[in-house]
Structure 1
Amino acid sequence: MGCAAFGNLYAPVADVDAEAAMAAAIDVGVRHFDTAPYYGHGLSESRLGAFLRATGHDVILSSKVGRSLAEGEAPGDTGFVGAACARPYFDYGRDAVLRQVEGSLRRLGRERLDMLFVHDIGALVHGADHPARFQQALDGAFPALAELKAQGVVDAIGIGVNEVAVCLETLAAVEIDLILLAGRYTLLEQAALDDLLPLCAARGVGVIVGGPFNSGVLAGGDHYDYGAVPAAIGQRVERLRRVGEAHGVPLAAAALQFPLAAPAVCSVIPGARSAAEVRANTAAMAHAIPADYWAALKAEGLLRADAPVPA
């Protein structure tokens, strides 16, 4: 379960609704919760930590490093509505990363984490500053996470990003266990099949697919990659929906189940902001999809011919 919504991404989520969504996730068997200090500027981690302290559930937790929080400073417009009063800023240095982890552990009420990802590294986020930021991470963040792994503070380390290029760049430079790749291996795009997924499979690096709905557009929402839906994307989604209707397959069901067929993919983590959305995701994962649906997508040019599909 991706927990960005509990940081009030796009719109506020009441405490009671966040708690109900987490409880519903536990009820249906979800045991991996992914969060980050950036989500609501600490709000998502705080809500998740409060829920786990109150309920005592034993879950797998992943969080991220790369952004420090200047508490008490105006955050600016980050897309999180009613976020905690803290200004997030990038810092991939070793000391900053260790302080970021301390903050996450405090908010989550834990002494250790299962996974830690270097967050939003890459040219997509940093533009011309990417080489300097990436070098800072190579010198600081990645060695710090390796130390924490050696100390038993975290079990697995990796990156959490929205682009393929920096995944390949990272794999060429450091040893990691996992990649959390958001929005780049979905029904709408499969370029990760060219190089990244085969390399991860060969290297034994697990891929967690985040953003399987591409920020919501594949589940009936009005966002694509954290912004408005481009006309071309909207048209493609409509074509996908029509093929699904012809085969009795809801688009959300196909979007959730498709990524898991790739050998390197070990998990898919949709977000949810309510118990109803959790139950909808669960139903989508359980929906039986006939083989001729996937064949029809490929015949229509809506899915790459070489894309692995669920049996």
Structure 2
Amino acid sequence: MQTKHNWTKEEILNIYNKPFLDLVFEAATVHRENKDYSEVQISSLISIKTGGCPEDCSYCPQAARYHTDVEVQAMMKVDEVIEIAQKAKDGGASRLCMGAAWREVRDNRDFDKVIDMVKAVNGMDMEVCCTLGMLNAHQAQRLADAGLYAYNHNLDTSEEDYKRIISTRTYDDRLKTIENVRKAKLTVCSGGIIGLGETVNDRVAMLRVLANMPQHPESVPVNALVPVKGTPLAEQPRVPIWDMVRMIATARIIMPKTAVRLSAGRNEMSVLDQAFCFMAGANSIFAGDKLLTTPNPEFKDDMAMFELLGLTTRKAFKNGRPQGKEEVTQ
């Protein structure tokens, strides 16, 4: 299947609404044609600076304005990050993603610490990802020079639905950050969340923005909302597994070479639920007991699932190192 970047909303909607088993079969076929379908990339996500965020993202327990159980914590030390990264690597992770509860990156000592963290983890032969909020072109280049592999900045939902979820930044702000990441020749990780109260049209519109970028994101996380007490979306019902499978399958078909990540919400999924997601084209997960502040399956449970399903772990830098660094062949 040829990669395209001019999808219409109707085309994607027609894919999303196909009979379920036909959709899964088509996505599985595309997956086998473009990827080693049994290979799954494992990332570990840690919160290097927790809580106290000035944003008002309706789903997030780290927003300072909401009364949740998340306690504000200072920036982690580099040694702590290295220790966590080593445990993640020992558990099978090839990528470490570091998240900070910031609205945007500021050029200060905290950002200098992040640069040191990136250098340290990159030196462990792991792919390093950061999600730090908005950043400008100069900051993106600093991260790239330090050895960053990927930058995560999710769109969350459609542009039309966005203001209902977040008012403290705009959709264009999100897209500008992704543009800055691309200018620095970093790989892009960008996806969204389902279960926010959005419509199917919103889900399709978000996927269309990603699929029509000049270069598809290398990674597209599909998150199921984990409702947290104290946030405006605390009473949202859980997303049916069938909706997750449809999103993953649709993303796989329209972005055939992208890593589609089964992300938040996995803790509530059975092995059978997750197997359907892998069959539909998911080839990346977050492992480890937490996703920033929400529960997640442990490494040992995931390894048992991988053995049961015949899945293997993807090694770091399989597609080569960014920024013209020496390519690593696996």
User: Could you tell me the TM-score, scaled by structure 1's length?
Assistant: 0.50
| C-alpha displacement of 1:147 | 2.6
Q: Would the aligned equivalents of 1:179 and 1:208 in 2 still touch at CA under 8 Å?
A: yes
Q: Indicate which of 92, 113, 127 corresponds to 2:164.
A: 127
SS at match of 1:287: helix
Residue 176 (str. 1) matches residue 228 (str. 2): no
Deviations 1:151-205 (A, max 9, x none): xxx2x22414324442333324553132122226999533143355234334323
Residue 97 (str. 1) matches residue 160 (str. 2): no
Residue of structure 1 in register with 2:184 after alignment? 148
User: Using CA pairs below 8 Å that are at least 6 residues apart, which structure has the higher relative contact order?
Assistant: 2
Q: Would the aligned equivalents of 1:32 and 1:60 in 2 still touch at CA under 8 Å?
A: yes
| C-alpha displacement of 1:269 | 0.7
- C-alpha RMSD of the superposition: 4.7
Residue of structure 2 in register with 1:34 after alignment? 97
Residue 286 (str. 1) matches residue 316 (str. 2): no
Q: Indicate which of 245, 250, 272 corresponds to 1:193.
A: 245
| C-alpha displacement of 1:59 | 0.6
Tell me which amino acid in the other structure corresponds to 2:49: G
Deviations 1:30-76 (A, max 9, x none): 221122443698779947944862893111112246x34xxxxxxxx
SS at match of 2:140: helix
Residue of structure 2 in register with 1:157 after alignment? 188
Q: Would the aligned equivalents of 2:191 and 2:221 in 1 still touch at CA under 8 Å?
A: yes
Q: Would the aligned equivalents of 1:61 and 1:115 in 2 still touch at CA under 8 Å?
A: yes
Q: Would the aligned equivalents of 1:211 and 1:270 in 2 still touch at CA under 8 Å?
A: no
Residue 22 (str. 1) matches residue 51 (str. 2): no
User: Structure 2 stretches of 5 or more lacking a match?
Assistant: 1-42, 52-69, 195-202, 227-237, 310-330
Q: Indicate which of 240, 259, 265 corresponds to 1:206.
A: 259
Q: Would the aligned equivalents of 1:181 and 1:209 in 2 still touch at CA under 8 Å?
A: yes
Deviations 1:218-268 (A, max 9, x none): 3xxxxxxxxxxxxxxxxxxxxx7xxxxxxxxxx5x66766643332x2210
Structural mapping, 1:1-311, within 5 Å: 1-8=43-50, 10-11=70-71, 12=73, 19-38=82-101, 46=113, 49-50=116-117, 53=120, 56-64=123-131, 67-68=133-134, 96-102=135-141, 104=143, 111-122=146-157, 126-127=163-164, 133-138=170-175, 140-149=176-185, 154=186, 156-163=187-194, 164-165=203-204, 166-172=206-212, 174-177=214-217, 178-183=219-224, 188-194=240-246, 197-204=249-256, 205-213=258-266, 218=268, 259-263=277-281, 265-272=282-289, 281-287=298-304
Q: Would the aligned equivalents of 1:63 and 1:116 in 2 still touch at CA under 8 Å?
A: yes
CA distance in 2, matches of 1:44, 1:161: 25
Identity, in percent, stands at 7
CA distance in 1, matches of 2:101, 2:141: 14
Name the one with the larger helix percent: 1
SS at match of 1:175: coil
CA distance in 1, matches of 2:92, 2:211: 32
Q: Would the aligned equivalents of 2:48 and 2:99 in 1 still touch at CA under 8 Å?
A: no
SS at match of 2:87: helix
SS at match of 2:252: helix
Q: Would the aligned equivalents of 1:115 and 1:157 in 2 still touch at CA under 8 Å?
A: yes
